[in-house]
Structure 1
Amino acid sequence: MIDRLVVLGATGDLSARYLLPALAALRAAGQLDDRFQLTGASREEWSSERFREWIGARLDLHGGPYPADAREAIAARARYVRADVTSSADVAEAIAGDGPVAVYLALPPGLFPRVVTALHEAGLPAGSRIVLEKPFGEDLAGAQELNRLLADLVPEQAVFRVDHFLAMTTVQNVLGSRLANRALEPIWNSTHIAEIEIVWDETLALEGRAGYYDHVGALKDMVQNHLLQLLCLVAMEPPITLGERDLRDRKVDVLRSVRPLTEQDVVRRTRRARYLPGRVGDHDIPAYVDEDGVSPERRTETFAEVELELDSWRWSGTRFRLRSGKALEADRKEVAVRFRPVPHLPFGHSGEAQPNVLRFGLEPEGLTLDLTAIGAHAHELAPLSLTARMDPTGLPAYGRLLLDVLTGDPALSIRGDEAEEAWRVLEPVLSAWEKDLVPLEEYPAGSQGPPRR
């Protein structure tokens, strides 16, 4: 197990909200001992003492239920290096020490090639690992070039292209529900399933993230970055094991089976929009183009929807709808599996059968099955919902991912060819949107999004 973690871009929101609480969780669970050392590197003119104070303050704010001694232990041995993360000399100072190191690039994707080059020039100790937050590259060509740079630096198994969605309890339970229950797997195909909808709708607006979000938008930030991963787990063939090779091979198969989109397909099967002024809950939200740091000429979307089809024996004839939007009326974060109607109802005119829908709630985590049952009167149909909440795991999603990095288990990280295939799926959408073949619609903040066509 590696006991040194270097975070490049350590003073950002990712570290404060996710990485530091994850480390505190690992310490509280007994997964990190006194040998573990955190090194932060960023542009701020800070001392190590100032960095430790910042860690303590951030953990007081975001550390959740983890005990004070676990939070204090993370800060106690932390050190800080003021660094230009694209400078090989500065990076060499940050990674200096005995033994292998895990280097976490908590940075904008546009910096990845230059930082990886700096790491190569600085010289990583044998056995070191590289961690990159998705999106991996900014397009297919960028992902391919970044893969080439990484291949020159470390073996593929030492590259962790992480996506915290894959470590969520409910996301993991998608596989558990499918593969461990005879009631589901035999009907997990296009004969019985009409549509699978993968949704991440949120009431949150930009929340000060213009520096990142305005350069990527909803399609890259959520659909390419996270929702395609959920598609892989929902649609993959049962793997022989959940080991890294078997699991990743089956995920790549799904992406390779996605039917390529023509320009006409993109026009008919995709939507994009951005929010206008409105009210979400008790908050007035300005138009996206009026948010601080936004450049209206970029025409960045805050809502994206893509409909895909898979050319495979299991899924031919099933629609897969991937959707994400910001500043919407309500949070809706789920995978909804919509089954086809039964072929015949022997109940006359005593009501309609509701479509059976199996919902994997992502946030909050849970499971709901919408059914039709007999109502208060004989032969009268009525809806019935069965709901279960998931027990939280001992580690948060980022805690699970960091533990995998430090112990060297890449099963939940993204393999290089998978990252490229994900960009291949969406390249036609990016191209058509850039040509303005799909109109940029608008919707009031606090609404349900752009109206259906």
Structure 2
Amino acid sequence: MTEVPSNQRKPDPCSFVIFGVTGDLTHRLVIPALYNLAATGLLPGKFCVVGVARKGTSNDDLRDSLMKGLREFATRPVDDAIAKRLLECVTSIAADPREPSSFDEMREQLEKLEAARATGGSRLFYLATPPGAFAPISRELGRTGMLQQKNDAWRRLVIEKPFGTDLASAKALNDELLKIVDEHQIYRIDHYLGKETVQNILVLRFANGMFEPIWNRNHIDHVQITVDEKLGVGHRGSFYDSTGALRDMVPNHLFQLLSLVAMEPPARFDAHTVRSEKAEVLAAIQPQRESDALVNSVRGQYQGGKIGDTVIEDYCKTGDVKPGSTTETYVALKLAIDNWRWAGVPFYLRTGKALGIKRTEVAIKFKQAPFTMFSCTPVEALAENYLVIGVEPTEGIALQFNTKVPGPSIRIDGVEMKFRYKDYFKAEPSTGYETLIYDCMIGDNILFQRADSVEAGWQAVQPFLDAWKKAGGKGLERYKAGSEGPAGAEELLKRDGRSWRKLG
């Protein structure tokens, strides 16, 4: 095990309690992230993992299953000694919120385990479960006192997305949770915020004097936020058909990117101040009437096609998808922010499944320079000026600008300067969850959504949900798998005299 980095402290001793321990999320992301933290010396010295499932399993069977998952999904070579130390502290407990007595038994088992492991009573409850289980599990944890903080022992609740399915359900979930725990104990986790480039947006903006002075309506023409995926729905047909691209991606992933790009400079770099600025800019997204929501949105559904060597079947032929489904697998939105900084600057958001390339990026398009002084030269048009923040698959920042082509005459061409993380920093591959889990354990919730931020996000997308529901299948476009999406998405920008950055 390596030494703890000098600028990071080890978390307090604690119990890491995972509900849904037998599920895909735990095996693919949570345990590999804990392993990476262990490998870098960032787990507590006194630590235990408690795996909770509705149907009990033996400690050995659970450990074997988690080890198998770790070997399959680890982001770096697995050191057997580190993996063994991590998994030796795993204990299996059975609990089902439909059987309240099982939570009373769980409390007793957890207290005995904490005493044996000398973890001090601090607990992190990680709900890696379907959303429908969030409230029932939290209620039982509250009823049995397992979430009650006492003495120096903290109790924290980690909840995966989605945080509701619309504005009403998000408010109901927040109200339910806040009856059980205080806001500062809730960690609404979004794995996008664990990505280095996403966190770097704050540093890029506020630690460089060259950017913040021009980060406003006087210099920026528009902003594009893109989250494209090559994969189809796969085996998630039942979940996806009841959710769709808008609910699945926009109020969380895309709005997290938007809030970091558009927020005002925080007075201090602390959780309360940063989260307040993020919530405020989401609340400033201009409300849309349902008629405007139809004009300012495009929704599509993929048809069969080929991406590389992979054949993608029609969405409606996917297992567990209803025949004739009108669920969107692609969405593009035009939004406006009602504040001084962004008045008149459109924000274009798009995300979809089964597209030609996997890409997540934020593109800041700057206003064109006057062309007058070049009117007597062979130059017909100036290249567009973009600052592009790449999140995946390539993490980095690119700046596009114009320069003179070498030679005796004035010829201008667009060029690009690129910064890539892998070229400058030797960072180990990660799941994206390491930073988030570590922050949960040290009590830093700067990267986690607050209730008001969640509700502001749903407030902004609710008009689109309502308008689409009334429209039914009308307006749902089809696009071929492996393409750039529906034609209407291009038209959304074309009518404003703009265009999307091309794939690739």
Please report the TM-score for the alignment, with normalisation by the length of structure 2.
0.86
**Superposed CA RMSD:** 1.7
| 8 Å contact kept, 1:196–1:320 | yes
Offset of residue 44 of structure 1: 4.5
Secondary structure (helix, strand or coil) at the match of 2:433 reads helix
Secondary structure (helix, strand or coil) at the match of 1:321 reads strand
2:397 alignment counterpart: 367
| 8 Å contact kept, 1:92–1:123 | no
Secondary structure (helix, strand or coil) at the match of 1:153 reads coil
2:411 aligns with one of 348, 357, 380: 380
Describe how 1:61-72 pairs up with structure 2 within 5 A: 61-65=72-76, 66-72=78-84
Secondary structure (helix, strand or coil) at the match of 2:413 reads strand
| 8 Å contact kept, 2:377–2:410 | no
2:138 aligns with one of 113, 116, 124: 116
Secondary structure (helix, strand or coil) at the match of 1:419 reads helix
2:464 aligns with one of 418, 429, 437: 429
Offset of residue 289 of structure 1: 1.0
- 2:445 partner amino acid: P
Residue by residue over 1:372-404, the C-alpha shift from the partner in whole angstroms, topping out at 9 and shown as x without a partner, is 111133310111011111136566521111111
> Are 2:95 and 1:89 equivalent residues in the alignment?
no
Moved more, 257-266 or 346-355: 346-355
1:294 alignment counterpart: 321
| 8 Å contact kept, 2:477–2:486 | yes
2:224 aligns with one of 197, 211, 229: 197
Moved more, 439-448 or 66-75: 66-75
Cα distance 1:211–1:242, how it changes in 2: closer, same or farther (>3 A)? farther
1:350 alignment counterpart: 378
| 8 Å contact kept, 2:127–2:159 | yes
Secondary structure (helix, strand or coil) at the match of 1:237 reads coil
Offset of residue 423 of structure 1: 0.8
- 1:354 partner amino acid: A
Cα distance 1:93–1:355, how it changes in 2: closer, same or farther (>3 A)? farther
1:144 aligns with one of 151, 162, 171: 171
Offset of residue 299 of structure 1: 2.2
**Partners of 1:332 and 1:128 in 2: CA distance:** 37
Offset of residue 179 of structure 1: 0.8
Offset of residue 175 of structure 1: 1.1
Moved more, 107-116 or 175-184: 107-116
Residue by residue over 1:46-93, the C-alpha shift from the partner in whole angstroms, topping out at 9 and shown as x without a partner, is 211111001110111111215332222221111122332454333444
How many residues get paired? 453
Larger Rg, first or second structure (1 or 2): 2
**Partners of 1:52 and 1:165 in 2: CA distance:** 28
Please report the TM-score for the alignment, with normalisation by the length of structure 1.
0.96
Moved more, 292-301 or 161-170: 292-301
**Partners of 2:363 and 2:52 in 1: CA distance:** 41
Residue by residue over 1:292-344, the C-alpha shift from the partner in whole angstroms, topping out at 9 and shown as x without a partner, is 12224552211011110001100001111111001011122100111110123
Moved more, 123-132 or 356-365: 123-132
**Partners of 1:85 and 1:169 in 2: CA distance:** 36
Q: Flag structure 2 segments of 5+ consecutive residues without an equivalent.
A: 1-11, 115-120, 492-504
Offset of residue 237 of structure 1: 0.5
**Partners of 2:300 and 2:60 in 1: CA distance:** 46
1:37 aligns with one of 48, 71, 74: 48
Residue by residue over 1:244-277, the C-alpha shift from the partner in whole angstroms, topping out at 9 and shown as x without a partner, is 0110110011011110011121111111111111
| 8 Å contact kept, 1:7–1:39 | yes
**Partners of 1:343 and 1:27 in 2: CA distance:** 55
Residue by residue over 1:217-246, the C-alpha shift from the partner in whole angstroms, topping out at 9 and shown as x without a partner, is 111111112100110000001101220011
Moved more, 98-107 or 270-279: 98-107
Cα distance 1:182–1:290, how it changes in 2: closer, same or farther (>3 A)? same
1:306 alignment counterpart: 333
Secondary structure (helix, strand or coil) at the match of 1:195 reads strand
